[in-house]
Each structure stands twice: as structure tokens, then as C-alpha cells.
Amino acid sequence: MVHWRLLLVATIAVCATNGEAKSTASSRSTAAERTGRYKSLLTDYFALPRHPYLNEVNWINARAGIVSEFEKILHNVPNTTMEIQDFHTSISFVPNIATEIKGKNIIVTFAGRNRGKAGDEILVIGAHYDSDASVLISIDDNGSGVVAMLEIARGLADAIVNRKAVLVNTIMFVAFDIQNEFSDGMAQIGGSSFFVKEKLATILDSQPKPSFLGAIILDSVMNYNSSEGSQVLPNGFEKSFPEAFSQIQANLYKGNYLAMVTKERLRSLQLDYSIAQEWNRTDTQQRYPLYQLEIRRTAASPALFEFLKQDHVPFWNFENNPLSAVLLTDTSTYTFKPRMSISITDKKFYNLIIFFTLKGKWRGIQRMCGITICNSTQLLTADRLNMLDQVVVTLERFISQSHLDGD
């Protein structure tokens, strides 16, 4: 069952302007200001693991921090709402062992001028805020995705309030609870599935029917490593993603890229092309390659299935009408889950299991730190914060082209 609570509503009208596209990235803040903000948010809310079962206090604190940041962002912003979507699910933290969890999605809606009209093209930007139990990866997976989402929302709010831009089409920012990876082997669902089935489906069924531009899912987007050989690829990657494999090989297996995961024959072409175009315009020095990984049915492999567990998949699986969605990820934090049939009641023992499964990271814990042991805040280097900023500025510019009329 899903329950809703309305947290904040602003209903001031926004006046139309001359219709020119406005970049939310320009004149709002400097790169130094933004990266300073990323570091602060990641340290305050996401430096500690947020596993819903093992790290409940950290998990709840992160949720409260996200709500607090959204409240600041939405202050005086017209036509916005923030809602909490409560849901219950059974999740497999260890295969074949179910744990009952109460999750809470945080949903912020910036209603566009076309809201309630057939011409509305809804865009969703989402990121999960819970994490595995690892102290080291939780700041990237997925503190980085949530912080990027918050900053994009902040830029949009600034464009509307301070620069009098007009939001033409609706944008929804969603902090998903209970990542889909936790449902492995249990035929259960995480927060993104509840959002798509209960919230988004209702909106898309309303009259007059709006259209859906797509969903952009941010899942681990700041693990940058320019060292040769720092990127490890899973079995079958060359079969499932031959174009990307050739690019990574030519790049000497550096872990300095971001991957954009798409699905063949799905209407994400407009989304893919536009994001790639803005990415290349923003990354003028070509420091951060963007590689496209297209999911094809004819190219199944263990590598392919690693990209069928994240929060873009519920959009692809929507009823009989798959929805456009892309996943942006640094590919570094997908785990090879432990396979065991035991009863785990001791949280310390479970933490030990989690520790020994971290060896499967594609850019690796040692590759992230450059040393044998480090803590999560040591991952906040200038290179990684700048990669995170590349994601933010790219998507701000994408929004300015697809959803904003400027002043």
C-alpha cells in the first residue's frame, strides 16, 4: 500500500517571457561554489553507509537531509510540491532471505506551464539515497547521484525565481528509497517501481493525457580515475557492448568516463542524443568521455545483466508501454552479490560478508583511493568533484533547452 503526505506547496504564477532558451548553468554560481557545495553535502549526509537494515540511523538522517535541502531549494519557488511516498516491501539483502522494509520516496514536482495539458512533456530526474553497507562506496553510490539531483533542482529554482525563466514542461525530481539491487532473487520491488506504478502511472493516465519525455537516473557519477588500467570490465562486456569496449580499450582502460545506458528500439533516442550533445559542449577539454551502452536482447552476458538492476528498469518495464529512460553511471560500484543459503541474524556478521564482496568493484576500492585503506571523505578529490560538476552542468543545459523559456 502506498500513502502520500504533502509537505510543501507553492502556487504563485510565473509570467511568460520572450521564449528564448536560458541556460540554468550560466551566471548562477561558479564551479568552485558548486564543488564546495557538493563536498559539504556529501560529507554531511552521505559519508556514512545508509543500508536500510544495518545502518538505519544513517539512512534516516540522509532522508531528513534531503528533505531539508529540498525545502531550502523550493523556498519562494512557484508551482512546486514536495511529497513523501510511503511504501512497504520485502527486500533480499542476502539472496533468498526476505526482510520487511518501510520505504519513503521523496518526490518534488516543478509544474510547467503545460501542466494539465496534452502538450506537457514530463521529465523525471531520479537517484536512490540508500546504500550498501560499505563505508567506502556509499559516498559515490549513491550520494553522488543524489547531490547531483539536488544541485540541478537548485539551478532550476534559481532560474525561475531570480532570472525569471519560465518552466514550460513539468519536471519531477525523485529521491528513491530501497534500490532495486536489494530485490535480487526475491521478485520484490524497490522505491523506483512504486513510483512508476503508483505515482507516475496516475499522472500519465490523467486527462488530457500528458506525454513523457523520459527519466534520467543518476547512480554513482563521480568515481574518476585517469590511471591506465584503472577500469575493470565484467565478463562478456565485449559481447554486450562492443562499441563501448573498443572505446575503453582505446582509452587504455582508464576509469575516467561516464556511461549512458540505453535500450534498443526505445524512444530514448531524443534523450540520448540531447544529453550527449550537451555533454560534449560542456566538456570542452574532453576530460570525461561519455560512452553509450545500449542494451540489446541479442547480446546477453553477465555484463549486460549488471545494468538491468538499477532504477531505470521500472520505466522500461512499464505495463505494455515501455517508457524512455537512461542511466548515467561511472560503472564503478555494481557488486557481485554473495550467493549463500544461511540464516543471518547478526548484523556484524552480515557486515563481514559485505566487506568480502567488495572485491568485485569495476573501478575497485583501492583504485578509488590509490591506497590500501581510506575513508569515504578521502574520495572527495578535485577530479571527482569536477566530474560530478560535469554531470550537473550538462543536465542543467539539457533542461534549459528542453523545458525552459528564458528571460
Task: Give the CA dihedral 150, 151, 153, 155, nearest 10 degrees.
Answer: 170
Cα separation of the two ends of the chain: 43
**What is the per-residue pLDDT across 356-371, written as a single tens digit (0 to 9) for each?**
334 335 565 445 554 4
Question: What DSSP character marks residue 263?
Answer: E
Among the listed residues 80, 254, 251, 61, the one whose alpha carbon sits nearest the alpha carbon of residue 167: 80
Question: What DSSP character marks residue 67?
Answer: H
Measured CA to CA, the distance from residue 108 to residue 336 in angstroms comes to: 33
Positions of E strands within 240-289 = 258-263
Measured CA to CA, the distance from residue 121 to residue 115 in angstroms comes to: 9
Q: What is the pLDDT of residue 269?
A: 65
Q: Are strands 258-263 and 290-295 parallel, antiparallel or unpaired?
A: parallel
Measured CA to CA, the distance from residue 158 to residue 399 in angstroms comes to: 13
Structure-block grid coordinates of residue 191: 522505491
Q: What is the pLDDT of residue 5?
A: 44
Report the 10 Å Cβ neighbour count for 95. 13
Side-chain-facing half-sphere of 331: CA atoms under 13 Å? 29
Give SS3 for 14: coil
Q: What is the pLDDT of residue 374?
A: 58
Q: Which fold has domain 3-405?
A: Aminopeptidase (3.40.630)
**What is the per-residue pLDDT across 61-114, written as a single tens digit (0 to 9) for each?**
999 999 999 999 999 999 999 999 999 998 776 666 778 889 999 999 999 999
Burial of 61 (0-12, 13-18, 19+ CB in 10 A): middle
Give SS3 for 99: strand
What are the backbone dihedrals phi and psi of residue 99, each rounded to the nearest 5 degrees, phi first? -130, 130
pTM over 0.85: yes
Q: What is the pLDDT of residue 62?
A: 98
Sign of the C-alpha dihedral, residues 193, 197, 198, 201? positive
Ranges of the chain with pLDDT below 70: 1-27, 93-96, 135, 181-188, 267-269, 333-375, 407
Domain borders along the chain are 3-405
Q: What is the pLDDT of residue 215?
A: 97
Q: What is the pLDDT of residue 355?
A: 37
Q: What is the pLDDT of residue 306?
A: 87
Strand order in the sheet with 3-10: 3-10, 80-94, 97-110, 171-176, 121-128, 211-218, 325-329, 258-263, 290-295
Q: What is the pLDDT of residue 226?
A: 92
